Structure 1
């Protein structure tokens, strides 16, 4: 099976831009992915993050689905401990009913936010303890085989919504293996346990009704441009913005100059932040292709989730297009 590519979209709000503009950019990015041969676009649930607009994930999926024709769209992921399994089943049953054969549901157990916001969500600190049972409860609703007597999810779509487990540790890998579900590792921002987790997933995998063999997805950051200098400049801007948001959250929200951010990135704390994006492909289409092929081979990935982080929408779309052309997706 040829390597599949998908895209992670956080609906980023660039400096000086609005959330409405970020949603328009998400539509543009999905349309580019659709015409370029990507398998799907994933949208991640985050909360209380001023630069990320994908918090109401199911609503964003529905909006993009209305403005595209065929590409699959999924949550990558819904942080299930923040929600009732029944409510998520109703949301994604509705999406699948409206857009049959196009909806995927990735699930994670992290809060997708900080502890104060967890309390605002009304999430209990121990809610992740029941994640395995919640996944099974949700799966039952989506199949019309409820595990809760007298409770069914409505609407029940004619086609089943596939489940994916997302994680960055051995826990998620082992659970995905036990349940026979596809496993996506968040190596685009949490790379440390990638190889160990994928090895455990493959070793422990048990076939299920949804999946006969292991299906491995790995995340990787991408900056593809017409020339390497442009790609490196886009990467520098993006990762400075990321570091700036991190520092502002911890230091009272004041603005920092590029020189101050560069000094932070050169420090021990900054080096730790930079290490989170260890897996980043940067360069021309051919350079990105070589990096992605080598990265995929290192874990025998069936699919890569590519996160295109260029600040400007046009650069992000071009990165999507150049990557697809280099890997001959169409």
Structure 2
């Protein structure tokens, strides 16, 4: 096995045109089974709400289902949007998962709402100011999971003493600073928010304070991958991915768009800005993708890469993770990776 950084996956449970959410989740099971057989370290699922193309709105329920259909791969949230929830309920949910699937559960935590403000306030009935309590909520959650509840007489059962690993997610300096201060691993969302990657990961490493759960900084950076047998095939996939991303961003507002209008938008300043969200994307053959990711590891100072497989179809995305596993020389018999539990 190579000494390269471990690879993990982020699965958005994409609902493609004409398919149901149920079918999307069935495909997520198939993706996890394949990733496990290829040697990927973990798969994470992200909490989103009111998005017609994403089925991972309740990561804990999805993880439970996929864990029951896999054996060894780590599964987690990437992440739970903590201000949407009571830390106590999150501890119970992920404590339950940890008791059912020992040593396989991760919990990434974000402070963004994962939705629009209308859904946040009127449907989720959450206070828009709840994010201000994110650091305190993390400490409360950690207390429940570590068996050191901050509320006298209150224990999370299940959850108490499971020590489910916590990860701070971010796309700005805020998350980097908080993760460093709390001594927790940090995950940068460079697969869709590339701007502050180098600055944030550098700050995290330079300011990391050892904690009761982690002695040294541990940084995961997310990156998109479009791999194909040919350079031309990968480039065509990338073109379609960008077009689909622009269309999705426009139609999310309720507007409709023709193909002719889409052509103009893709080449417009607005379209280029949307495309730039995918700035960190490895595109090409196995050799080209491998070389890109090796350079990206150095740029990000990453201990692990979280791969977002891109493609105009599920088959393309599956092909990407197969080709990437080959390029990175993953060994399914010996999955390397980050420490699975924090003491």
What's the TM-score bracket when you normalise by the shorter of the two chains? over 0.9
Contact 1:29-1:316 within 8 A present in 2 as well: no
Contact 2:79-2:110 within 8 A present in 1 as well: yes
Contact 1:94-1:157 within 8 A present in 2 as well: no
| 1:321 corresponds to 2:322 | yes
Partner of 2:212: 209
Partner of 2:230: 227
Partner of 2:21: 19
Partner of 2:245: 242
Helix, strand or coil at the partner of 1:126: helix
How far residue 292 of structure 1 moved from its aligned partner, in angstroms, is 0.6
Aligned runs of 1:45-194 on 2, under 5 Å? Answer: 45-119=47-121, 120-156=123-159, 159-194=162-197
CA distance in structure 2 between the aligned counterparts of 1:157 and 1:317, rounded to whole angstroms: 37
Contact 1:101-1:159 within 8 A present in 2 as well: no
Helix, strand or coil at the partner of 1:45: coil
| 1:5 corresponds to 2:7 | yes
CA distance in structure 1 between the aligned counterparts of 2:178 and 2:204, rounded to whole angstroms: 8
How far residue 158 of structure 1 moved from its aligned partner, in angstroms, is 5.9
How far residue 123 of structure 1 moved from its aligned partner, in angstroms, is 1.3
Partner of 1:199: 202
CA distance in structure 1 between the aligned counterparts of 2:30 and 2:161, rounded to whole angstroms: 29
CA distance in structure 1 between the aligned counterparts of 2:30 and 2:67, rounded to whole angstroms: 12
Contact 2:78-2:169 within 8 A present in 1 as well: yes
Helix, strand or coil at the partner of 2:192: coil
Number of residue pairs aligned between Structure 1 and Structure 2? 328
Q: Describe the superposition over 1:25-59 as per-residue Cα deviations: whole angstroms up to 9, x where unpaired.
A: 11111111111111100100111000000001111
Q: Describe the superposition over 1:265-323 as per-residue Cα deviations: whole angstroms up to 9, x where unpaired.
A: 21111111111110011111111111111001112210111100213222211111110
Partner of 2:336: none
CA distance in structure 2 between the aligned counterparts of 1:69 and 1:262, rounded to whole angstroms: 45
TM-score using structure 2 length: 0.93
Contact 2:144-2:160 within 8 A present in 1 as well: no
CA distance in structure 1 between the aligned counterparts of 2:251 and 2:113, rounded to whole angstroms: 21
Partner of 2:338: none
How far residue 262 of structure 1 moved from its aligned partner, in angstroms, is 2.5
How far residue 225 of structure 1 moved from its aligned partner, in angstroms, is 1.3
TM-score using structure 1 length: 0.97
Helix, strand or coil at the partner of 1:287: helix
Q: Describe the superposition over 1:70-100 as per-residue Cα deviations: whole angstroms up to 9, x where unpaired.
A: 0000100110000000010000000001100
List, as ranges, runs of 4+ consecutive aligned residues in structure 1 with deviation greater than 6 Å.
none
Partner of 1:267: 268
* Structure 2 unpaired stretches of 5+: 332-343
